[in-house]
Structure 1
Amino acid sequence: MIPRILIDSTQVPGGGEMRLFSRGDDFFISLGREELMTSRMSGSEEALATMTAERVTASAPHFLVGGYGMGFTLRAALGCLPRDARVTVAELVPAVVAWAKGPMAAMTGDSLADPRVAIVEEDVGAVIAGARGAYDAILLDVDNGPDGLTRPGNDRLYSDRGLAAARAALRPGGVLAVWSAGADAKFARRIREAGFRVDEVAVRARQNGKGAKHVIWFGARD
């Protein structure tokens, strides 16, 4: 059996230790005993980008992606967005960006060097709160979705106030896309009550259409 090797670890703001492992060509990021993400499953993260791009009508869109994860959403967005698009990635944990540029660099190719990309090492909630009408799409793949796992502060993103801030940060016709590890009836109701026209889509975790079903909510702003 190929051993799992610890590559690096870092403290997460608010508490907890995040660790990066490799096993052969695969990578895993965990927090405590919870496995947050793996390079074996990228299908739903890629769908987050491609399905959002299908719903955005702006000719030169500005996407905000929070957070970076393993870079699958960013890579997929760059693959389907026009050359004059912009993609801002907000990642709270600096080590995640360092891992993307170091041991996991081959996974996303030259995505981080793409001139359309800007990396902001900041809480995506703070980025959203400081913007008004700045984005054509906001893509949230933070924590485990609305059911927070890594840090309580993430819950604010999915609260009534957080959804109102996201709506204000979007341009008319913009889209809020929220990834989740599973269904959440309370959040589905909350995002509708926040004034979005909502489409809820179940997406398989793996690129081959297999694996667990994840959920993406697409909320369109009028």
Structure 2
Amino acid sequence: MDGDVAVVEVARAETERGEVVLRRRTSEGPDVLELRVNGVFVMDTLETGTEIALAAAALDLVPDPRDVVVGGLGLGFTAGRVLADTRVERVLVVEIEESLVGWMRNGTVPHGPALLADRRLKIINADILMAIAEARSTYDLILLDVDNGPGYLVHDDNARVYEQSFLSRCGDLLNPGGVLAIWSASAEPELLAAMRAVFADAEEQAHDVLLQDRPETFYLYVARAATSPF
């Protein structure tokens, strides 16, 4: 028990990166699923505002986001908001934890099967670093939410996601006028500097949201590929 809240472990997986745990919190309100990695809270099904706002804000930046990459499946709320946009024709979600994909697919996460049934959605079980390095297609929007930002890494190797070499590779995969957007829980001036070293057009956007009537701010780091001169 956490105070008046009962906590039950729903699923657990041990990986080479550590443990991935899905827990259910039960109180007077609806049950809440909570995802933790190596004991660190990642997200839950109660406060989904920033995951949804992330996708909405990024989609607003691209006039015709037909092909979208989402780095990080989480509990599916970012991908779900992307799929809610009727302009989107294909969504590729890259998730490193195979167990998490399985829990979404088999209904351990109850809303998972309906999300994964969308024919526009493809999920690959891979490290985002590898997936981007090996990609052979181009995209209108690359949306990355693999950590709580570069200052709060889920895995140490993710530090490379915020380095110039990876950002440059993302730029190579963007269609003219396409956008790379990275979510962060805090302001990260070093990330902005790295993006500006690669892209002529890069900016920090602060987004205010209400989570359970509590004001919060998340940051979106946005870089835009040059438009075609033709």
TM-score, scaled to structure 1: 0.90
Matched, 1:178 2:188: no
2:148 pairs with 1:144? yes
Counterpart CA distance in 1 for 2:80 and 2:192 is 27
- What SS does the aligned partner of 1:105 have? coil
Q: What 5-or-longer segments of structure 1 have no aligned partner?
A: none
Percent of aligned pairs with the same residue?
31
The CA deviation at 1:11 is 2.5
Answer 1 or 2: which has greater strand percent.
2
1:214 and 2:218 correspond = yes
1:6-85 equivalences under 5 Å are 6-13=9-16, 15-24=17-26, 25-58=31-64, 61-82=66-87, 85=89
Q: What is the CA-CA distance between 1:208 and the residue it aligns to?
A: 6.1
3-state secondary structure, aligned to 1:145 = coil
The one-letter amino acid of 2:18's match is G
Q: Which residue of 1 aligns with 2:5?
A: 2
Rounded to whole Å, the distance in 2 between the matches of 1:209 and 1:192 is: 35
- 1:127 counterpart residue number: 131
- Give 1:73 deviation, angstroms: 0.4
| Cα deviation code 1:14-53 (max 9, x no counterpart) | x221211011321111123321112222111112211121
Deviation at 1:200, TM superposition (A): 1.9
SS at 2:135's partner residue? coil
Whether the aligned pair in 1 keeps the contact of 2:70 and 2:79 (CA below 8 Å) is yes
Residue 148 (structure 1) shift:
4.5
Q: Contact 1:22–1:28 (CA<8 Å) still a contact in 2?
A: yes
Which deviations, in whole Å up to 9, do the C-alpha atoms of 1:40-86 show, x marking residues without a partner?
2211111221112111123x61000011001010111111232x610
Contact in 2 for aligned 1:67/1:90 (Cα 8 Å):
yes
**How far off its partner does 1:175 sit?**
0.5
**Aligned partners of 2:89, 2:213: CA distance in 1, in Å?**
29
Distance in 2 of aligned mates of 1:209 and 1:187: 30
Q: CA RMSD in A?
A: 2.0
Q: What is the aligned partner in structure 1 of residue 194 from structure 2? A: 190
2:160 aligns with one of 150, 156, 159: 156
- Number of residue-to-residue matches in the alignment: 218
**Structure 1 counterpart of 2:173:** 169
Q: Find the structure with the greater CA-based Rg.
A: 2
Superposed displacement of residue 140, structure 1: 0.3
Name stretches of at least 5 consecutive residues in structure 2 with no aligned partner. Answer: none
Deviation at 1:153, TM superposition (A): 1.3
Structure 1, 210-219 or 89-98: larger mean CA deviation? 210-219
Any conservation in 1 of the 2:95–2:124 contact (CA below 8 Å)? yes
Distance (whole Å) between structure 1 residues aligned to residue 42 and residue 162 of structure 2: 19
8 Å Cα contact 1:128/1:165 also seen in 2: yes
Structure 1 pair 78/5, CA: closer, same or farther in 2 (3 Å)? same
Matches within 5 A, 1:110-121: 110-121=114-125
Once the 2 structures are TM-superposed, how far is the Cα of residue 98 of structure 1 from its aligned partner?
A: 1.5
